[in-house]
Amino acid sequence: MSKPLKKAAELISLLNAELRKHDACAGVTVDGISPVVDDRVDYTWTSSVLRKSATPVPGQCSRIFLAAVRVLQQQYDLAPEE
């Protein structure tokens, strides 16, 4: 069964919205979505870059981010760029 498509900007917005729910992620933003073309996995995109001005990203926020990526990968596929 095919998953609904989301543009990269929409996925970034969803990930940033999830980060804003957690105090540990104050000031942290997602810095991009990358397509994944690999028949061995069941997702079509990933994101691995977080940004925070002047200080490192807290470990707790990194874990929250990775969990959010996994959930959204199960829900949405990456729409092709136009």
Q: pLDDT tens-digit profile of 2-53?
A: 899 999 999 999 999 999 999 999 999 999 999 999 989 999 999 988 898 8
Could you tell me the pTM of the whole model? Answer: 0.91
The contacts of residue 19 (CB under 8 Å, 6+ apart) are 25, 28, 29, 30, 61, 64, 65, 68
